[in-house]
Structure formats: C-alpha cells, structure tokens
Amino acid sequence: MSFQAALIIASFVIFVAVFFVLARLSKGRIQQKEEDLRKAATLRGWTFDKKHDRGYRIYHFSGTTEGVAWEAESLQLLAGGNRHQRRRHIARWHGRWNPGVNAPIVALGVPKGKELMGAGVAQGDGFLARMAVKAAGFAFDKAIDVYFGHEIGEQIDAGQLRRVEHPAAPGFIVMAGNVDEASRILSEGLQRALVDASNTPGNVLADTDRPYVLVRSQGISLARMEQLRDVSELDQFVKAGIGLTRSFRFGRPA
C-alpha cells in the first residue's frame, strides 16, 4: 500500500471516529435535556413525553392549572425532515376552555408600533388586488396551520377572518370570523387582558416576539416560532394562557 493510500484511509478512519464521538455527545446532551424536562415537569405535577412526527422532534406536556386542563408542545424540525421546509422551532400551548364565542378570534403578536401594518393588503377591485388578497389569505391560512397545528388549522378558515377595527392592544393585530362579536369580547375584557399582559415584565405576551393568541369555541391557544428551552418558559405560557381565561365573562372549562 502506498503512503498516499494509507494517508487517505487514516484520514477516513479519523473522520468516522470524530463523527461517531460527536454523535454520541449530541445524543447524550439530548437525553440529559429530556430527563431534566421530565423531572421539572413532574415536580410541577405535569406530564412529559416525546415523539417524532413529520420530521419533527416533539416534546409534549400536559397538566391542569386553576381548573383548566391544558396541553403544550415544543417542536423542532430535524435535518431529516421535509427538504422543502427550513429548520423551524415552534412552541404551542392549548387550554381547554370555552370562552363563549361562536367564531375564532386571532390576536397576532407584533412589535409595538407595527399594529397598522397589513391593514389593507390591497385596495380596489382590480385583478391584481384580488390576487394579492388571495395570496395573503393563503399565507395566513398556512401560518395558522404552522403556529397552532394542522388539526386546529383545519377547523379555521383563515380566508373568512377579517380585521377588527376596534381599538385593540398595542402589539397585536386582531382578526376574527365575526367582527361584531370580537369587538364585544374585546370590550368586555379581552382587550384589557392583552394590554395588562403586554405591559407585565416576565409575561410571555410582553416579549418582543410575543406569541399569536387564538380564541375559539373550545379553547385558548398561544404559539410562537421558538422552541421551549426549559420548563420555566412553559410556565410563562401557562400563566399567560390562564390569565386570559379570566377575561371572559361567561367562560368555563371545556
């Protein structure tokens, strides 16, 4: 065997060995993180499990807080996922709560001062205007699916949601299936709850990258494009979600 061939083989062996060691270390870190999440959840009386679905690693939590049963997910799109999807993190919280609404209400979290963006995607009745509105509606529908999950997304026709002109909370754009109902709900307490939450240090709804809020007939959900790093972050979602349940005059556990 020539020296050059031996060098190539040795380099390959070293590469494989390094790759194997790094893979083992990465697997060990993931397993330790999962064990830490499990212990922290158990201490709070919550459950924790994990699964893989559609190229995502999913950490699933569930619990009951102040009489409200809830579930939460932290998703990470793995490298082996759909090659047409970019790497993505998602955090979701779903509270089983009947807020007393007939049509969905979505409060889109945006940086304060940006609430007016997208107020009119297009003006007029021309072909280009109609195409712009259709494209925006399609993108919004996909965003609902991604943020809140395919199952909930199937229940909501984002194309039927309309912007609510009622003065909402700084940092949120409000869309609803029934504008009149949404305006009433906002007036009765939801607007104040969003304002208070967005001004409370430590509340996840006060963050610059504040979550989207979804109010529907059988639940309240929060979601944003970031993975939950630890249980304390999940705790922020739980507190924010439970806080919003108190704003509905005729709400009750679902």
Q: What is the pLDDT along the chain (254 residues), one digit of tens a residue?
A: 565 555 555 454 554 444 444 445 454 566 687 888 899 999 999 999 998 877 888 999 999 999 999 999 999 887 554 444 445 789 999 999 999 999 999 998 887 766 665 444 434 444 444 434 444 556 777 888 889 998 898 888 888 888 887 666 778 889 999 999 999 999 999 999 999 999 999 899 998 888 999 999 989 999 999 888 889 999 999 999 999 999 998 888 88
What is the enclosing helix (H) or strand (E) of 112? none
Angle at which helices 3-43 and 231-245 pack, to 10 degrees? 40
What pLDDT sits at residue 245?
94
pLDDT at 142: 84
Q: Which has the closest alpha carbon to 171: 200, 213, 208? A: 208
What 8-state DSSP symbol labels residue 200? S
Ordered DSSP codes for 218-231: TEEEEEESS---SH
In sign, the C-alpha dihedral spanning 177, 122, 223, 34 is positive
Structure tokens, 135: 């494209």
C-alpha torsion sign, points 217, 171, 91, 156: positive
Q: How far apart, in whole angstroms, are the C-alpha atoms of residue 1 and residue 217?
A: 74
pLDDT of residue 83: 46
H/E stretch holding 105 = strand 105-109
pLDDT for the residue numbered 91: 94
CA–CA separation, 25 vs 30, rounded Å?
9
pLDDT for position 238:
96
Contacts of 90 (CB under 8 A, 6+ apart): 73, 74, 75, 146, 147, 223, 224, 225, 226, 227
DSSP of 131-190:
HHHHHHHHHHHHHHHHHH-HHHHHH--GGG-EE--S---TTEEEEESSHHHHHHHIIIII
Give the pair of three-digit tokens for residue 1.
């065997």
Write down the pTM of the prediction: 0.79
Token pair listed for 41: 């959840």
Tokens (6 digits) for 110: 């945006």
Which burial class, exposed, middle or buried, applies to 18 when counting CB atoms under 10 A from its CB (0-12, 13-18, 19+)?
A: exposed
Q: What is the pLDDT of residue 134?
A: 47
Q: What is the pLDDT of residue 173?
A: 87
Say which residues have a Cβ less than 8 Å from residue 46's Cβ, sequence separation at least 6: 61, 62, 63, 231
What pLDDT was estimated at residue 196?
Answer: 92
Helix (H) or strand (E) holding 72: strand 68-77
